[in-house]
A and B are shown apart, each in its own frame.
Chain A
């Protein structure tokens, strides 16, 4: 993996995904394609030359010159409010990437795959869901997605479609409020939730866990406690800053 310099990118689509998040499609001439789970650095430059750079996971994967980001607004943030509220199709920014060679999934492995997302941690895992679906491997993939409320779920409609017959196994967990008619419990992911939603230890799944720091710490600790080997649990934490 060799990362080149900053490349210009143009916003070609910007649509709301949740009350606080927006899906951005960026056209990047010469983009080399990316694997499921990689991220990209975004650089913004103000008219007076002031710059800020942040990393965002890529929700898309594969070849092509358009990438999809889902940006969740961080209150009091500097970059995310601009990307969620201000940027419009036609606007330009710069990208560097694709970045990251560890938190990636490639089709072809024998082990079942367990994805566990908290909030906007779904983004790199969505790339894996898409890659698995396209590769005909969705039946070996399960996703446990924890959100505060149904409205906070990025990619809800696509996930529901993907999870139909033979697709990715999908379990929702609501921590604050569930949809009307929901009969399950509401609360954080705990051992009971994991036992019910996750491939059993005997299947030797490989895990990708992504979300806020506290969520990932809690889930990863719980998985180790349930007997899954640390070496098969890959994590990506965000938050702070």
Chain B
């Protein structure tokens, strides 16, 4: 039984069935990251996937842009409790990218320019659930939001959608990434509030 706070509720916001429990709507786009924003030149940019056997495939920016590109309209949910509904992105599906890699691995570690990491089960990256996105709202993705390209895994809390992503390492066993070592859940489903350890 929750404790009732005397007099609270006068300024309540409308609830929306698209909001997972414990989330509130925001109209702007808050920025959360652990350090300064990295700046990456497109001619230096690479996205690489390394399998558990050590084989590697990588794309330059131009090669990446030549891949099939998808439009994605989705809601996003940050563990700090804001949610943003109906966001629009463009990017390359992880299904497309993972086709180039032979792997039996079950987990992936996403690596970012700037050193950030986050772990994600490969099942959560396949079947139209995840992209490497480089446009937001019809514009190139802003650096403070992860540009030139970020992971987009909208069905998990947004710390899994690694900004400034540079690649994936596929792993047989799960390992914690940056926030996972610092108190956040290994999986991160917003609908079951997998926020912390």
- Mark A residues whose CB is within 8 Å of B: 1-3, 6, 8, 43-55, 77-78, 81-82, 86-88, 91-94, 99-103, 213, 217, 220-221, 223-224, 230-231, 233-235, 237-241
Contact = CB atoms under 8 A, between A and B. Distances in A.
Contacts, number: 131
Contact of B36 (A46, A50, A223): A223
A211 to B, nearest CB: 12
B34 A46 contact: no
A233 B4 CA distance: 40
B121 interface: no
| Of B7, B10, B179, B197, most A-chain CB atoms within 10 Å | B7
A54 B8 CA distance: 14
| Of B7, B8, B11, B24, most A-chain CB atoms within 10 Å | B8
Interface residues of B, number: 41
B124 interface: no
B35 to A, nearest CB: 5
B7 A82 contact: yes
B128 interface: no
Given A87-B5, A93-B3, A241-B30, A230 B11 contact: no
A233 B36 contact: yes
14 contacts: A44-B5, A44-B9, A46-B8, A49-B2, A51-B2, A78-B13, A81-B11, A82-B8, A87-B5, A92-B5, A230-B35, A230-B115, A234-B34, A234-B35
Contacts of A94: 2-3
B38 A45 contact: no
Nearest to A7: B3
Given A1-B197, A8-B3, A241-B24, A231 B33 contact: no
Given A46-B12, A91-B5, A231-B115, A102 B34 contact: yes
Given A102-B34, A217-B37, 19 more contacts: A1-B183, A47-B9, A48-B9, A52-B24, A78-B12, A88-B6, A92-B3, A92-B5, A94-B2, A99-B183, A99-B196, A101-B182, A102-B178, A103-B34, A224-B36, A230-B36, A234-B34, A234-B35, A241-B82
Contacts of A86: 7-8, 10
Contact of B30 (A6, A81, A102, A240): A240
